[in-house]
Amino acid sequence: MNRLYLALDVETGADAFCLLERINQKPAVKVGMELFYREGGRFVEQLVDNGYPVFLDIKVHDIPETARRTLRQIGRLGVELTNVHTLGGETMMRYALDGLRDVTDTTKLIGVTQLTSTDERMLSEELNIKGGLEQAVLRQATMAGRAGLDGVVASVHEARAIHQALGSSFLTVTPGIRMNETVDDQVRTATPKAAREAGVSAIVVGRPITRAEDPNAAYEYYLQEWSRTYETNR
């Protein structure tokens, strides 16, 4: 799996297709909650029908039976990757996976651990989770592995420990990819090179591309950096 997912951080489906028209190839894309709640499943199907591999990032987190029914619906959309939140617990993740497998064997299911906006202070003081970020993420990833999930969403900073504990085939999908130390709501960021050196399976890049003056040039630049690093570390 050698994926760079372009996060469609736009308001409408029309905006998304306008952005994609400015890119000279068909990238793998991430559809998040904002766009999915606006446009729904039909929009996701349109992306799939037009040849765009889709990571549907809606972080399902509910009681087990609702998660199962939700993932059964998601499984009908034809996406290659989707996710639940590991804080829903192991039983919820098992139910979600069962619902997905009721309708498809091809869509991979991963679990969100801690968001890239979470720092040590927030984890300890606001969420009252002790032991530090890496240990918290590793516990959640281990629970996802026991539930049968294909991997997790985690930052670059935890990827190596996850693979050491769960193996190289356990997917790590990493958002917060930047070429510099841009300050925004994501505090645990990294470069494509750092991601590959940490053994990350796939990266997600959004605003550095979607807000660029030339999105195609920005996409090509990130893709080259990721691919170059990938080839170097094969």
Which of 61, 114, 111 shows the shortest CA–CA distance to 82? 111
Question: Is 130 assigned a catalytic role?
Answer: no
**pLDDT score for 229:** 54
pLDDT in tens, 22-78: 999 999 999 999 999 999 999 999 999 999 999 999 999 999 999 999 999 999 999
Give the per-residue pLDDT at 188: 54
Catalytic residue among 26, 59, 108, 130: 59
Question: What burial letters (b/e) apply to 203-234, b meaning 16+ CB within 10 Å?
Answer: bbbbebbbeeeebeebbebbbebbeebeeeee
Q: DSSP for 112-149? A: E-S-TT--HHIIIIIS---S-HHHHHHHHHHHHHHTT-
Read off the DSSP letter of residue 233.
T
CA distance 233 to 38: 40
205 phi, psi to nearest 5 deg: -125, 130
CB of 67 closer than 8 Å to CB of 92: yes
Using CA atoms, how far apart are residues 66 and 130, in angstroms rounded to an integer? 29
Secondary structure (3-state) at 99: helix
Residue 115: closest CA among 187, 67, 193: 187
Query: Buried b / exposed e across 59-86, counting CB within 10 Å, b at 16+?
Result: bbbbebebbbebbbebbebbbbbbbbbb
What's the distance, Cα to Cα, between the start and end of the chain in Å?
12
Predicted confidence (pLDDT) per residue in 221-233, tens digit: 999 988 875 555 5
155 burial (CB, 10 Å; 0-12 / 13-18 / 19+) is buried
- Per-residue pLDDT at 183: 47
Low-confidence ranges of the chain (pLDDT < 70): 1-2, 180-189, 229-234
Residue 234 confidence (pLDDT): 47
Between vectors from CA 70 to CA 66 and to CA 76, what angle results, nearest 5°? 155
Q: Give the gyration radius of the chain's Cα atoms.
A: 17
